[in-house]
Structure formats: C-alpha cells, structure tokens
A and B are shown apart, each in its own frame.
Chain A
Amino acid sequence: MVWPLRALLLRDLKLAARDGAALGTALGFDLVVVSLLPLGLGPDVALLARIAPGVLWIALLLSALLSVARLFEADHQDGSLAVLRSAPVPLEIVVAVKIVAHWVTAAVPLVLATPLLGLLLNLDANAYGPLMAAMLLGSPAVSAIGAIGAALTLSTRKSGLLVALLVLPLYVPTLVFGVSAVDAGMLIEGGGMAPLLILGALSLVGLILAPIAAAAALRAHELA
C-alpha cells in the first residue's frame, strides 16, 4: 500500500515542481494582497504593525485557496481521477496524499514567504517566531478544508467563487487561533502555547476527516 502512495506523492510533487507558474502566481497574489492593504489603509507604520499578523494570515488563506480550489481539477479533466478511484488504495488515502502534496508545494512556500511580507507591514520582530510556527502548524488545516471545497465543487459551474463562499467561513477557527497565537507568543514569556496546540489539533483532525468528506464528495460526482 505504501508504494502506490509514494508514487502518487512523487507524481504530485513533480507536477507542481514542473509547473512553476502556479507557485509564482500564488506567491504573487500573496504579495499583491499584502501590498494593497497599506494602500487602502494609509501608510501609518504603527497601525500596519498592529494588524500585520491578521493581514498576513488572510493573505495566506486567500492565496492558498487559489491553488487548493483546483486540487482535483486537472486529474478530473484528464481522467486520472477515474484511474485513481480504481487504485489499490482507498480514495480517502489518495485524497490525503493529495492534501499533503498541496501543503508541501503550495502552503509551505507561502509560509516561507511570510517573513519577507512581514517587512512590508513593519511586523514586530518578536512576532516572526510565533507567526511562522502558527502558520506551519495551521496550514495543513487550510489545505485539508480547502480540499473539501474543491471536491464539492468539482463539476459545478462558476466553481471558483463558489469554493470561496463555501470554504472561507470554515477557515475562521484557523484564522482566529493563528492570529491569537501571535498575540499570545508575544505577550506571554515562553508561554502562550494554547493557540498553537489548538492549531495543531485542527490540522490533525482536518487531515483525518477532510479526506473522508472529500472522497465522499468525489464519489457523489460520479453519479452525474
């Protein structure tokens, strides 16, 4: 059972690596969102520093959503999804592997780009550590929940906007605890672990439950 999964993971990683445009688009989108905000809010450095963690989190969610919304689309269009359904492993595991691949190729680069964007927003120096930790712990949940949305809207018209409507409200816990992890990490010396732990829990539970929901959704589409 391990070998097919390895093959699938390597395939998805390779596909992502060879399609450099996708990652560039997501990073560019992230950058544009972050740089539009000061233009809308004014260049007040103190204000920007205060809202920076939230802005960076929202930019991460939006740009991750862009790529996760199309998680199954290419496989659906070229028929490999049908092949994967008859693979020797359950569809749930296939979905889980695709979520992991998305996290590695799309979410982690966005997290790694965050320190650079933090400079643009005058992010407090003490906030970098907690913010990066929170994003690394929380972003698997972003990929997992996004996968549900991608699976639900696979064969719909106007799916792009629909995914955003379905998925963004479900990102609220990740966003709330992601931002409060930064506050807690900065205010409480050596403490403030609770939000980080909750983020980790969200990601772990998401990685278990989201594949079940997404696989059920993928199977439901085959009725059509």
Chain B
Amino acid sequence: MTANQPTIVQSLANPTRFMALSARILPWLAAMAAVVIGVGLYQALVVSPADYQQGQTVRIMYVHVPAAWLAMAAYLTIAASSFGLLVFRHPLADVSARAAAPIGAAFTLLALLTGSLWGKPMWGTYWVWDARLTSMLLLFFLYLGLIVLRSSIEDEAAAAKLTAILALVGVSLLPVIKFSVEWWYTLHQPSTKLTSTLDASFRIPLLINALGFTLLFACLHIKAMRNEVMRRRVKGLQRAAVREVVA
C-alpha cells in the first residue's frame, strides 16, 4: 500500500461510505451471529455434559464468560474510539464510542446477573464482595458514568470530547482498580485457562459461544452506529428546515 492510499479506517471517515459498506456487511454478520450462537447454545445446553461438581449450573458459564469478555471488549472499543476522536478527530470515532456504551453496559449487567444466579447455588449467596465481581460492578459504574455524562451535556461536540476524556481516564485507571480490588480480597476462581484446565467438552461450546457473542456485539455495534449516523442526519435536516422557516 502506498503512503497516499487511505487505510480502511481512514476511508470510513466518509459516513456515506460507512453506511454503504455497513449495509452490505450487516446481514451477513447477523446471519453468522445467529448461526454460531444457535450452534453454541445447542452445544452448551444439550450436547455438553453436566459438571460432576456443579451439576447443570455449569451451563450458566456458557453465557457468563462470553458476556464478561464482551463487557471488557466493549470498553476497549470505547477507549480506542475515544483515542481516535481526541487524537485523529475521526468523524465516526464518536459515533462508535456512543454506540458501544449501552451495549457494553448491557453485557456487563448480563455478566453480573448470570454470575449472581450461578453464585446462589454454588456459593450460597447471590452476591459476594469478591474481587472479580467488584471490579465488574465498578466497570458497570464506569459505563453508567459515560452514558449519563453524555446525556447531561447538550452541545454534542462538547459531549463527545468530554465523554472521550472520561473514557480514557477510565481505561487508564481500570488496571489500577482491578489490581487494588484483587489486593483487597479474592474468592472468585482464577481466569478460565481455555487451553489447559478446561476439558474439551466444556471448552468447545464455550469457544463457540464466545465467537457467537462477539459476532453479536459486532452486529449490534454496527447497527447502533448506523442508527446514530441516521439520527445525526435527521437532526441536521431538522435544523436546516428550521433555518428555512426562520428565513
């Protein structure tokens, strides 16, 4: 690629091109997500065996782990988009950050809820103040902060920048928060080592579901971005119409 040729990310700076490309990709992505999640859930709920200790509740893991993974992936998406907005002023960066926030918050909530449903039979309580639960809860608060901060600033350009700054502050503090909470207390089992400790009969459905959820996230994210682009167009048209009436 020569230096003058725009990269894919650069060429998407044109919203029309983004809309055209995403319209073509989205149906395929959605179909793939549906198929992979369908297969994954079949594997997880029917094919895979019950755990000898955890019994049927092990199946919660097939939703819980992908949701937790996407909760973090969505925040990284927001942080990368925020960086793109503040440093490169990419026109779609803010659209992406804004679209990812509610989806990420939803996955975080899903991870927390499924975790607590699993915790009741396993640990005997819906909630324990354990390091991982607590850092997920704090991640959820960060998502809420992003959403509320944006909604409370009327000027959209200022809201975009301020939310991006908060996202970057959050992403730089997240490792510290995680470290501090781990120092504080740990009960949760260590991170699932997908290669070694997990038997293949659990690992394969989990990997399929992780892939399916990731496709679902990509789908929802692109769809939300399209909605946001359209919302901005409508707003622009409305403003133009008002100007015409006033003039």
B142 touches A177 (CB 8 A): no
Indicate whether B172 reaches chain A with its CB closer than 8 angstroms: yes
Q: Which residue from B86, B144, B154, B169 sits with its C-beta under 8 Å from A165?
A: B144
**Interchain nearest-CB distance for A61 vs B (Å):** 14
Range for the number of chain B residues in contact with chain A: 20 to 34
Which of B152, B169, B172, B179 has the largest number of chain A CB atoms within 10 A?
Answer: B169
B141 touches A165 (CB 8 A): yes
Indicate whether B1 reaches chain A with its CB closer than 8 angstroms: no
A220 touches B142 (CB 8 A): no
A220 touches B180 (CB 8 A): no
B residues near A173, Cβ cutoff 8 Å: 173, 176-177, 179-180
B161 touches A223 (CB 8 A): yes
Please report which residues of chain A, range 153-169, place their CB below 8 angstroms from some CB of chain B when the two chains form the complex.
153, 155-159, 162, 165-166, 168-169
Task: For the complex, give the distance between the alpha carbons of A162 and B150 in Å.
Answer: 11
Indicate whether B8 reaches chain A with its CB closer than 8 angstroms: no
Indicate whether A139 reaches chain B with its CB closer than 8 angstroms: no
A residues near B172, Cβ cutoff 8 Å: 209
A166 touches B166 (CB 8 A): yes
A residues near B154, Cβ cutoff 8 Å: 224
Q: Which residue from B152, B155, B183 sits with its C-beta under 8 Å from A177?
A: B183
A223 touches B155 (CB 8 A): yes
A158 touches B86 (CB 8 A): no
**Interchain nearest-CB distance for A155 vs B (Å):** 7
Please report which residues of chain A, range 122-139, place their CB below 8 angstroms from some CB of chain B when the two chains form the complex.
none
Interface of A is mostly: helix
Please report which residues of chain B, range 125-170, place their CB below 8 angstroms from some CB of chain A when the two chains form the complex.
138, 141-142, 144-145, 148-149, 152-155, 157-158, 161-162, 165-166, 168-170
**Interchain nearest-CB distance for A210 vs B (Å):** 8
Interface of B is mostly: helix
A220 touches B141 (CB 8 A): no
B residues near A170, Cβ cutoff 8 Å: 169-170, 173, 177
Please report which residues of chain A, range 188-224, place their CB below 8 angstroms from some CB of chain B when the two chains form the complex.
202, 209, 213, 216-217, 220-221, 223-224
B residues near A176, Cβ cutoff 8 Å: 180-181, 183-184
B86 touches A172 (CB 8 A): no
A172 touches B158 (CB 8 A): no
A residues near B184, Cβ cutoff 8 Å: 176, 180
A residues near B149, Cβ cutoff 8 Å: 152-153, 156, 162, 166
Which of A162, A176, A177, A209 has the largest number of chain B CB atoms within 10 A?
Answer: A176
B145 touches A169 (CB 8 A): yes
**Interchain nearest-CB distance for A168 vs B (Å):** 8
Task: For the complex, give the distance between the alpha carbons of A176 and B134 in Å.
Answer: 12
Q: Which residue from A148, A162, A202, A223 sits with its C-beta under 8 Å from B152?
A: A162
Please report which residues of chain B, range 5-20, place their CB below 8 angstroms from some CB of chain A when the two chains form the complex.
none
Residues in chain B within 8 A of chain A (CB atoms): 86, 138, 141-142, 144-145, 148-149, 152-155, 157-158, 161-162, 165-166, 168-170, 172-173, 176-177, 179-181, 183-184
Sample of 6 more A-B contacts, CB < 8 Å, known A157-B152, A170-B169, A224-B153: A169-B141, A169-B142, A169-B177, A177-B180, A217-B165, A220-B158
